[in-house]
């Protein structure tokens, strides 16, 4: 929504933005009306990043940055805490071992598929011997049992960072490479001094702009 502004005594009605030449002589600094902003809370930005809501009120981000050190494993389950992961994070799960069974019987196996789920079922009779640790398949004593295992799958995907977390649920098996996008424009010179985006501190200097919400006057110094 445009605003009526006054610059050096001249009134300009319905201005959507204000461009001011940079001191370097190349390009302009552009100031826009923030009323179209959809930013409403710090949960939409990284921790420490400051931006502005539709009414011009400063909002500080609260999304915590996370790394592989924040992941935890319990048995076959890896827990991924909520937060922003600037790079791929992995966590090893302890491996168990199983010796060849003394005997095994049973033939055939059934495979069923659902939405992003693969399930395999087979009835066998085994005499297993296992050590402590996570073993990826079921085990049983000397009796006929039905072994079933299922896992949620995720195909190859490219993840583009945004204002909210994008999570891969614990226990998901990635059948393809997961790529988290980077951007060569994420450098200090492209970020206002005093601000930080994805832990990159800005160095760009801009004029001081003050806006009176009652008179709709924009002052630039």
Q: In this model, does residue 84 exceed pLDDT 80?
A: yes
Answer yes or no: pTM beyond 0.95.
no
Residue among 197, 194, 195 at smallest CA distance from 183: 197
96-154 pLDDT, tens digit each: 665 555 455 555 555 565 666 656 666 655 555 555 555 555 444 444 555 566 677 88
- What pLDDT does 116 receive? 63
Q: In this model, does residue 207 exceed pLDDT 60?
A: yes
Do the beta carbons of residue 147 and residue 138 sit within 8 Å? yes
Q: How many Cα neighbours within 13 Å face the side chain of 97?
A: 3
**Range among 9-13, 133-137, 216-220 rated most confident:** 9-13
The residue among 95 and 91 whose pLDDT is bigger is: 91
Mean pLDDT of 77-88: 90
């Amino acid at each position: 929504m445009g605003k009526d502004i006054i610059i050096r005594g001249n009134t300009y009605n319905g201005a959507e933005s204000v461009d001011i030449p940079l001191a370097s002589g190349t390009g302009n600094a552009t100031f826009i009306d923030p009323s179209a902003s959809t930013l409403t809370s710090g949960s939409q930005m990284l921790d420490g990043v400051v931006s502005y809501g539709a009414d011009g009120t400063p909002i500080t981000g609260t999304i915590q940055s996370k790394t592989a050190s924040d992941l935890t494993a319990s048995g076959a389950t890896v827990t991924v805490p909520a937060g922003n992961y600037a790079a791929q994070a992995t966590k090893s799960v302890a491996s168990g071992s199983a010796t060849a069974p003394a005997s095994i019987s049973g033939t055939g196996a059934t495979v069923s598929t659902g939405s992003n789920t693969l399930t395999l079922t087979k009835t066998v009779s085994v005499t297993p011997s296992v050590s402590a640790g996570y073993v990826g398949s079921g085990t049983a004593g000397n009796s006929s049992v039905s072994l079933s295992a299922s896992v949620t799958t995720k195909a190859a995907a490219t993840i583009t960072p945004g204002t909210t977390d994008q999570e891969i649920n614990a226990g998901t098996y990635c059948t393809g490479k997961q790529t988290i996008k980077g951007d060569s424009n994420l450098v200090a010179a492209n970020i206002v001094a005093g601000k930080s985006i994805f832990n990159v501190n800005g160095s760009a200097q801009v004029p001081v702009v003050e806006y009176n919400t009652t008179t709709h006057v924009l002052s630039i110094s």
